[in-house]
Amino acid sequence: MATFKAPRGTADTLPSDQPHWEFVRRHGEDICQRYGYRRIDTPVFEEAGVFVRTIGQDTDIVEKEMYLFKDRGGKEMSLKPEGTASVCRAYLEHGMANLPQPVRLYYLSPVFRYERPQAGRLRQHHQLGAEALGEVDPVLDAEIIDLAWRFYLSLGLRGLSIQVNSLGCRQCRPAYRQALVAYFASRLGEMCPDCRSRFDRNPLRLLDCKHADCIAVGDAAPRSTDYLCPECSRHFDSVAGYLNLWELSYNLNHRLVRGLDYYTRTVFEIQPLEEGSQSTIGGGGRYDDLMGEMGGRPTPGVGFATGLERIVRNLQRQGAALPAASGPRIYVCYLEEAREEAFRLLAELRRGGVEAVAAVGGRSLKSQLRQADAQGMNRAIILGGDELRSGILMVRNMRNSQQEPVPRGRLVAFLRGLSG
């Protein structure tokens, strides 16, 4: 019979990968909380309209990547293809407009997109995201960029750059779009088939095509920042002012448009210096029309999200050293005559806050010690007839094989005092 495998584009996170994941999650939560963001969790699936109405009909996500299904009541549902729309749905549903604004929220969540899997591009990935809702102040755009940047720095990631652009608003974008259409219409013959087919539906996306010929055409295209209305222009200047105040250097990248249609004004991405769409490590921007499009009271917002798999990949590629685990890991070994006492001791250690396991499976003492070594235990405790009688236990340092006698009554305190 054929054996099962994890679905294509998904990955198991094995115990050996968990230290990296824990490191990333912990730093992510720390920094969000330090910036005043509070955690929110939303369901892994929503009514499909939450995403279709906000992300945009002409995006790859809505056209071909959502995991859609009808539930047993016949409602069209979708697994979450991103986090922002869900958080905005929750903001509206729970009347968060009545709280002091802005409402700062962050999340850690799995995200599902039916993409063509490749290195760094999965069908289930995990995001850390932060959203500041309810205020249009440009300092929040800069705060989100700063938060993202400090997060990567705190992890020790190197070689990243901040790319920033402004896409304008409902008032000024139509003129920009028209200018782009006129420009691309004259150059379409030089562009890839994907761009030619996207041209009518979503001309902005032609700017971020990674095809070499299209990059050259996109570089010479009209720039959105030349078409901003006075308000959008002031907003963008002000964001730049705060980024300078906080000494964040960034590239103004007029080819940056993002893959979701809900953005207004500021958009940004954090990219490793090497190019490539699947290498973008985080991105976001402002989305002042999103909540209105969802049917709620028009409410501004700005946020970002970052893919944890891509961060872990970058950390592993850089060979980043992780802080060592705090306490020692204990392996209780015993001769058969001391088995009951060994398991009594095991329970005491665990209840006393010590990480401990005991040998199982009736192996010889030598084999038990070999297992302790193979599992990377720091200390082994050896229990035999002598130890039972004397109440003095041998604690063996697995790194240098030195043994130390410790009275049974002082064992928990002794082990808790060790650093690893």
The residues that touch ligand HAM, with contacts defined as CB under 6 A, are 82-84, 113, 115, 120-122, 125, 127, 129, 131, 259-260, 280-285, 303-307, 309-310
Instruction: Look at the alpha carbons of 209, 211, 212, 216 in this order and tell me if their dihedral is positive or negative.
Output: negative
Minimal distance in Å, beta carbon 262 to ligand HAM? 8
Looking at the Cβ atoms of 163 and 378, the one nearer to ligand HAM is 163
Nearest-5° Cα angle at 99, 48 to 137: 85
Looking at the Cβ atoms of 281 and 381, the one nearer to ligand HAM is 281
How far, in Å, CA of 178 to CA of 50, rounded? 29
Looking at the Cβ atoms of 144 and 332, the one nearer to ligand HAM is 144
| 378 contacts 418 by C-beta, under 8 angstroms | yes
Minimal distance in Å, beta carbon 358 to ligand HAM? 40
Looking at the Cβ atoms of 155 and 330, the one nearer to ligand HAM is 155
Minimal distance in Å, beta carbon 56 to ligand HAM? 12
Looking at the Cβ atoms of 38 and 70, the one nearer to ligand HAM is 38
How far, in Å, CA of 133 to CA of 125, rounded? 24
How far, in Å, CA of 152 to CA of 271, rounded? 11
Minimal distance in Å, beta carbon 206 to ligand HAM? 18
How far, in Å, CA of 180 to CA of 379, rounded? 67
Minimal distance in Å, beta carbon 343 to ligand HAM? 44
Which run of H or E residues covers position 372? helix 365-374
SS3 129: strand
Minimal distance in Å, beta carbon 84 to ligand HAM? 4
How far, in Å, CA of 45 to CA of 51, rounded? 10
How far, in Å, CA of 201 to CA of 189, rounded? 17
Minimal distance in Å, beta carbon 131 to ligand HAM? 5
Question: In this chain, which residue has its C-beta nearest to ligand HAM?
Answer: 307
Looking at the Cβ atoms of 222 and 285, the one nearer to ligand HAM is 285
Minimal distance in Å, beta carbon 305 to ligand HAM? 4
Nearest-5° Cα angle at 140, 135 to 143: 160
- Strands 301-307 and 251-252, how do they pair? unpaired
- Identify any residues that bridge with 126 across adjacent strands, giving them in sequence order: 110
How far, in Å, CA of 284 to CA of 239, rounded? 14
Minimal distance in Å, beta carbon 302 to ligand HAM? 7
- Identify any residues that bridge with 331 across adjacent strands, giving them in sequence order: 357, 380
Looking at the Cβ atoms of 203 and 282, the one nearer to ligand HAM is 282
Name the region of 37 (left: φ>0; alpha: ψ -120 to 50; beta: rest): beta
> Strand order of the sheet with strand 45-47?
45-47, 76-79, 68-70
Looking at the Cβ atoms of 115 and 355, the one nearer to ligand HAM is 115
How far, in Å, CA of 14 to CA of 116, rounded? 23
Q: Which two tokens stand for residue 80?
A: 């979450």
Minimal distance in Å, beta carbon 27 to ligand HAM? 16
Looking at the Cβ atoms of 38 and 370, the one nearer to ligand HAM is 38
List the one residue out of 322, 324, 328 whose CA is nearest residue 417: 328
Looking at the Cβ atoms of 115 and 341, the one nearer to ligand HAM is 115
Listed in sequence order, the residues at least 6 apart from 196 whose beta carbon sits closer than 8 Å to its beta carbon are 188
